[in-house]
Amino acid sequence: MMKHEFEQIAGYEVSTEDYNNIIEPMYMATNLTKQEFVQTISKKRFALKPLKAIVKEMRECAESLKETCTHYTDFETKDRLEALIKEYIERKYNIAGVRYVSYGISEEMRFTCYYPISVEIFGTKGWQTIETIRLVKA
């Protein structure tokens, strides 16, 4: 069974690593039909988060960074946002993350800070924008 067949029957995506290292070897070791085997696999353990949920979490991270930027830099949230952007691009476009994050400037209380407004995703040929995701209102 191929990864895309598994995902079609299961109704959810799994990581390539989990499929190659766990699911496929397990399937090959059984005498179950594809449908029977898919029913034995734990969705809770293997299902990847839907892309819409990743975008929602990206927006939550960006809002948090906007709210806190005049007080401190939340490096943990910033790193989480970067990881979510990378995961989104790799899963949706199957390319290494080619993107540009645009930043807004907050000049409240004598401090200037930057927070992410949007992510622009570029294709690998010609640098055309293939998607822009608005994270926060400027």
Residue 97, pLDDT score: 57
Asked whether the beta carbons of 135 and 86 are under 8 A apart, the reply is no
How would you classify the pairing of strands 99-106 and 113-122? antiparallel
Q: And the tokens for 108?
A: 């409240």
For the entire predicted model, the pTM comes to 0.72
Per-residue pLDDT of the chain (138 residues; tens, 9 = 90+): 999 999 999 999 998 899 999 999 999 999 999 999 999 999 999 999 999 999 999 999 999 988 888 788 888 998 999 899 888 888 888 776 566 777 766 655 455 677 888 888 887 776 788 888 999 876
The domains of the chain are located at 3-46, 51-134
